[in-house]
């Protein structure tokens, strides 16, 4: 059952790592201790598949600093 939910949610959010991040964050925020975590995860995946959590995007990446490799001995 959950594999179908993951597949349905994966159609909406193509990047699987972004899908996992969105799902984990939503489960953490929506989980109530009186319910099972599995039920909360299933509900979040259902809501992602229906298009509720689609206002997500990848963060802006800063350019990496160039690495200066010090030469301690000249190459022979």
Indicate the domain borders of the chain: 2-50
Residue 75 pLDDT > 80, yes or no? no
Please report the pLDDT score of residue 56 as a whole number.
59
48, 13 in Cβ contact below 8 A?
yes
**pLDDT single digits (tens) 17-72:** 989 998 999 999 989 989 999 999 999 999 989 987 666 566 788 888 888 877 77
Please report the pLDDT score of residue 45 as a whole number.
92
Please report the pLDDT score of residue 69 as a whole number.
75
Q: Which helix (H) or strand (E) holds 66?
A: none
The answer to whether the Cα torsion of 8, 22, 25, 54 is positive or negative is negative
**In whole angstroms, what is the distance from residue 21 CA to residue 56 CA?**
10
């Amino acid at each position: 059952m959950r594999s179908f939910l993951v597949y349905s949610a994966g159609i909406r959010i193509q990047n699987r790592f972004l899908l996992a991040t969105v799902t984990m964050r939503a489960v953490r925020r929506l989980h109530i201790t009186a319910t099972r975590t599995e039920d909360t995860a299933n509900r979040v995946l259902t809501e992602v598949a229906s298009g509720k959590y689609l206002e997500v995007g990848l963060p802006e990446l800063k350019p990496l600093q160039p690495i200066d490799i010090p030469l301690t001995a000249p190459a022979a």
